[in-house]
Amino acid sequence: MKVLDAGTENLSNMDVMNWIAAKKAQHAEEDAADKKNKQKFKPRPKKFLKALDRHHRELNSSKYPYARNPNVYDGTYTAMEKFDMLLTERLCTPLEAKYIDLLTSMDKDECMKRMEAEQEAKGLTPTEHLMLFNLAPAGVEQLQTMLENCEERFSAEEQQVILDCILEVYRADEPKKTDGDEEDAVMNGTEAGFSADATGGAKEDAVMNGAEAGSDADVTGRVKEEHEVHAYSGNRGSLSPWSKRTLPMDIDSVYRPGDNENLGPSRISRPYPSTAKKANAEPLGRANRLLEHDDIDVDMMD
């Protein structure tokens, strides 16, 4: 989900839920002040209020991971940063070891080219990171709907690594499931928090899109259904948690000029907002500055 306003960044479902709760609290305070001062009630756009209530009901659903993991979804992006680092450690490090072994039988430049291509292919886009943060899938079927060309980019073992990282970070507050519990969840269509209909079947739009169908309300209060997953078409490597890392320092000829100056996490362009640290002191983070408006466009994208 994102709040559409010129100059703002995409917000997670958690951010939007916090913003809506703060907006409703602000309205209540304004109404109480008007009543206390015996001022005339100031009407607000009815369609906007209706859309606000609708999104609030949707985002308060227990199917979303933040409902059961309050210590993880604490109003900051610390969990996303931890997931980013853990995924890099468990997927990127073994990949580098693989290409070190290939150096004995492959030209160094060719080895470097292949490693960078594989790193780029396996890098998660900001949109993919946001979807995983929003929904925290606990099954392969759901994960594959959220990652573009998932089966082509990741082996079955790598997909399981991603799921393990998700469960370890985004669902850390939940009790660990047994194999039987996970099988029952998949069979009933309720894995990863997806809701089931009255017959026990998973909603089709949740399975097809990896998310509950959302909606967005513009300044006139129009509400339209959105079922499209917004795919990122740019360069993965420059925006993913995968750094363009080179082979170890002892293989001097592999390094390009300047490469050894910016290795490690500082070189990675993070998918989480640069203002995440500020959010630690300010729980509502970037959404706070939007509270002065009653005409914010809301687009539920996942």
Give the sheet arrangement for strand 2-4, strand by strand. 2-4, 297-299, 214-217, 223-226
The answer to whether the predicted template modeling score (pTM) of the entire model surpasses 0.75 is no
Token reading at 219: 């300044």
pLDDT attached to residue 225 = 30
302 residues of the chain, pLDDT tens digit each: 545 554 556 789 998 998 999 999 999 999 999 999 988 888 899 999 999 999 999 999 999 999 999 999 988 889 999 999 999 889 887 888 888 888 888 888 888 888 888 888 888 989 999 999 999 999 999 999 999 999 999 999 999 999 999 999 999 999 876 655 555 544 444 444 443 333 333 333 333 333 333 333 332 233 233 322 222 233 343 333 333 333 333 333 332 333 333 323 322 334 554 434 333 333 333 444 444 445 445 454 44
User: In this structure, are residues 73 and 134 in contact, taking their beta carbons and an 8 Å threshold?
Assistant: no
Using DSSP's 3-state secondary structure scheme, residue 65 falls into: helix
DSSP-assigned letter for residue 38: T
User: In this structure, are residues 148 and 231 in contact, taking their beta carbons and an 8 Å threshold?
Assistant: yes
- ∠ CA 258-244-269, nearest 5°, is 100
pLDDT attached to residue 159 = 95
The CA R_g of the chain, rounded to the nearest whole Å, is 22
Burial class (CB within 10 angstroms; exposed 0-12, middle 13-18, buried 19+) of 178: exposed
Report the C-alpha gap between 231 and 228 in whole angstroms: 9
pLDDT attached to residue 181 = 55
Token reading at 188: 């009933």
Give the number of other CB atoms < 10 A from CB of residue 190.
Answer: 19
pLDDT attached to residue 112 = 87
